Structure 1
Amino acid sequence: MSFVTRRLAVLSTAFAVIAASSSGAFAQKKYDTGATDTEIKIGNIMPYSGPASAYGVIGKTEEAYFRKINASGGINGRKINFISYDDAYSPPKAVEQARKLVESDETLIVFNSLGTPSNTAIQKYMNAKKVPQLFVATGATKWNDPKEFPWTMGWQPNYQAETRIYAKYLLKEKPNAKIAVLYQNDDYGKDYLKGLKDGLGAKAASMIIIEEPYEVSEPTIDSHIVKLKSLNADVFVNITTPKFAAQAIKKVGELGWKPLHFLNNVSASIGSVIKPAGFENAQDIISVAYLQDPLDPQWKDDPGMKTFDDFLAKDFPEGNRADASVMVGYNVAQTLVQVLKQCGDNLTRENVMKQAASLKGFRTTNLLPGITINTSPTDFAPIEQVQLQKIKGEKWELFGPVISGETGG
């Protein structure tokens, strides 16, 4: 081979290598609407007003957390553009806001939108558009249905599993209980009620003496509590959102009714529910937990609690440390950041869902010991473990082992 021929061969090989590597570089960077070299657009819908406005702080916490991430360089060099709208806990308004986020704002995903009725209203639309409805802020069981709804995923423990745990506790500790149930008359309330009945099994019909629904449009639920007390129930299962949970706890106390009181986890916030209702009215209420309670002194020196307190001090000084919703927002935002990190330069909607369904033993900073986040293509329920807790004094006290909520045992 002549010198010239050899030289040409070497050059053509070099060009081939360059071409291959540059096409590889192009192949690595994949974007859908809402993602670029510099930005990731994240949509969100929260009840900043209306009957569930106590939850609005979740969106504000997430916004503060993403600001913190952006200040430290973003995710793989991209800044998060967090666009959050108010739906006032109204399903028709949620539909309007989801369309705006997807079609006008062109967000990559809609993340942690709150409320079972609101997410139910947008679920078919999100899946038809193939836009991730990711880590919804509701524990309804329906979010774990990857076959029918591959673009929708929950985050928190599911409602039916929670009430199955209460049922199991009752069957062991109080098998002849007379149970009065107050529940919000929508998909959220009915999901919790179904779990309780399933958990009690054949005994549900004899143990549950009343299932009392209320509407979110009601200004007060006092009359419902008066009715429940009049039936001499010795167990009260309180399936309410924060405003109504605080009303119920306060009224139970005022009436001098002393049932064994179960409160759903979504209203277990000391700051937004228990304190306003009066600690004297809340003693011995039972609920479940999956995140550390900032008011529990056992976590004082925990590294995760220290990072949470650091976040509040530096990035979210207006956040109420006693409000459990702040802790929820802080940890669910971490979960999204992990998923986006895993996406690398492949920021397609399909890859976002693929990475969200590939979390293995992941821990945010404030999950209780023994609880991890796990997902797979056939399991869209990230957190499936909880621990029972009881109000003692001005804080929750954990008791018993970590329980798998998947089967309620």
Structure 2
Amino acid sequence: MNAASRHAPLMSRRRALLVAGAATWIAAGLGGAAAAETGEIRIGQTMPFSGVASAYGIIGQVEGAYLRKINAEQGGVNGRKVNLISLDDAYSPPKTVEQTRKLVEQENVLAVFGSVGTPTNLAVHKYLNSRKVPHLFVSSGASFWNQPEKYPWTIGWQIDYESEGKVYGKYVLKEKPDAKVAILYQHDDSGRDYIRGFKEGLGENAKKMIVAEASYQITDPTVDSQVIALRNSGADVLFTHATPKFGAQAIRKIYEIGWKPLHILSSTTNTIAGTLKPAGFEKSQGVVSGFLIKDPGDPTWKDDPEVRDYLTFMKTYAPNLDAYDTWAVWGYTMAQGLVQTLRQAGQDVTPENIMKQARNLNFKPAMTLPGIVAKTGPNRNVPIQAMQLARFEGDRWKLSGEVIAVAE
């Protein structure tokens, strides 16, 4: 099987599998009395298994598969099975509220873990904090999650969008100091974080270098008109923050209109399976983005023990999912963060101790890039605080430079 075919899952088939997987987990989660008798740990999450951001749904499915592995091979964590109840919110904040309340008030989950999206998590973080329910490892890089004094029950996972944007701004200064820069972004808090960081990276040059900005709403059908307007600004650099659907649209439109900027993609849309393959590999050449994890389809890692273990895991516990989708790898690493936190909690599986342990991590999740660890402490509320840049060449990302740490 060649690399191109590995990165080409059928989206309709994947969506059906995602929804089916979600239903399986929900069924497994019913029965509070049975849960109490077996001493299981009930964890909840919301995922966009449907809707405009459904490409992210594979994250939740792989997290569920990883916990099935832990239950089957290790008897759970500290003698308790871990039950993930994953509900579809279609990337719709009102639906997230409804489903999160169900998880807390009907399913009696210990914690809400890894839910995807900035607008969706913003819709429920106050509720979860008011109920003192751990809001663990939010799958969003919004800087909002890094407020432990104000929201002590919420903690992020990845390098925040503002810090990531700053890395890209500094990269532009280094590579094209005389650039004319255009920005395309999703009109929400995540987009504003990225722009703020990107401009900070450009520093005092931002005002003269940035010649155009355009935003889109998640409900927009396309970003074609925004791309055309940005091209007409005369920009020779484009920074795009988007979800996979709109990232793919932007790449295609840039190619179709003959625009050839240095194109920098946010990490939210750099998946090969969800963005670059749908856009077309020939249209994606030279795009730059930042990474935290190993790409299992990259020949660089073909003999890497972590990659071999990951592929074996996917074949065994998630055989119908695309193991080469980097969002699958993302779910694999995040699930390790949950398991590590539960292990450290020992037999004291209380909300208070779960948050204490989540803020006392220091380990390397399998499949993160060399030099990238998950570490928290008194002055570090987000576990992963580093990334490495890569350029898309042929049918894969090619890493370049060193790992860039934004916090020690």
TM-score, length-scaled by structure 2: 0.89
Is 1:319 aligned to residue 312 of structure 2?
A: no
**SS of 2:227 mapped into structure 1:** helix
**1:39 matched to 2:40:** yes
Among all aligned residue pairs of Structure 1 and Structure 2, give the percentage whose two residues are the same amino acid: 51
1:94 corresponding residue in structure 2 = 96
1:30-69 aligned within 5 A: 38-69=39-70
1:377 aligns with 2:378: yes
The answer on 1:125 being equivalent to 2:127 is: yes
Matching residue of 2:136: 134
- Alpha-carbon shift at residue 195 of structure 1 (Å): 0.7
Alignment of 1:338 with 2:340, yes or no, is yes
Quote the residue 1:179 is aligned against: 181
Q: Contact (CA 8 Å) 2:265, 2:289: kept in 1 or not?
A: yes
Residue in 2 that maps onto 1:16: none
SS in 1 for 2:289: strand
Task: Give the aligned partner of residue 3 of structure 1.
Answer: none
Query: Residues of 1 paired with 2:324 and 2:247: CA distance?
Result: 16
* Residues 180, 237 of structure 1: 8 Å contact kept: yes
- Tell me, yes or no, if the aligned pair for 2:267 and 2:290 is still in contact at 8 Å: yes
- Which residue matches 1:114? 116
Mapped contact 2:44–2:111 kept (Cα < 8 A)? yes
- SS of corresponding position for 2:375: coil
> Alignment partner of 1:181: what SS?
strand
Where in structure 2 are the equivalents of 1:137-152 lying within 5 Å?
137-152=139-154
1:51 touches 1:88 (CA, 8 Å); kept in 2? yes
SS where residue 231 of structure 2 aligns? helix
SS in 2 for 1:61: helix
Deviation at 1:35, TM superposition (A): 7.0
CA distance in 2, matches of 1:286, 1:216: 23
Counterpart secondary structure, 2:154: coil
1:315 is displaced (CA, Å) by 0.7
After superposition, give the CA deviation of every residue in 1:45-75 in whole Å (9 maximum; x if it has no partner): 0111111111011111111111111112111
Report the alpha carbon displacement of residue 88 of structure 1 after superposing the two structures with TM: 1.0
Q: Give the equivalent residue in structure 2 for 1:307.
A: 309
Question: What SS does the corresponding residue of 1:329 show, helix, strand or coil?
Answer: helix
Secondary structure in structure 2 of the residue aligned to 1:262: strand
Cα distance per residue 1:156-181 (max 9 Å; x no partner): 11111111011111112211211110
Structure 2 counterpart of 1:164, from 157, 163, 166: 166
Quick check: 110-119 or 368-377, which moved more?
368-377
Q: Of 80, 85, 94, which aligns to 1:83?
A: 85
Q: How does 1:222-241 map to 2 (within 5 A)?
A: 222-241=224-243
Unaligned runs of 5+ in 1: 1-33
| One-letter amino acid of the counterpart of residue 207, structure 1 | M
CA displacement 1:176-197 (0-9 Å, x = unmatched): 2111100000111111111111
Q: Offset of 1:220 from its aligned partner?
A: 1.1
Deviation (angstroms), 1:201:
2.0
Highest Rg: 1 or 2? Answer: 1
Letter in 2 for 1:380: N
Task: Point out where structure 2 has 5 or more consecutive residues left out of the alignment.
Answer: 1-34
Mapped contact 1:35–1:108 kept (Cα < 8 A): no
Q: How many corresponding residue pairs? A: 373
Partner of 1:272: 274
The range that moved more, 376-385 or 343-352, is 376-385
The corresponding residue for 1:203 is 205
Runs (4+) of structure 1 moved beyond 6 Å?
Answer: none
Matches of 2:384 and 2:306, distance apart in 1: 18
**Alpha carbons 2:213, 2:230 under 8 Å: kept:** no
* Structure 1 residue 111, shift from structure 2 partner: 0.2
Kept in 2, the 8 Å contact 1:35–1:41? The answer is: no
TM-score by length of 1: 0.89
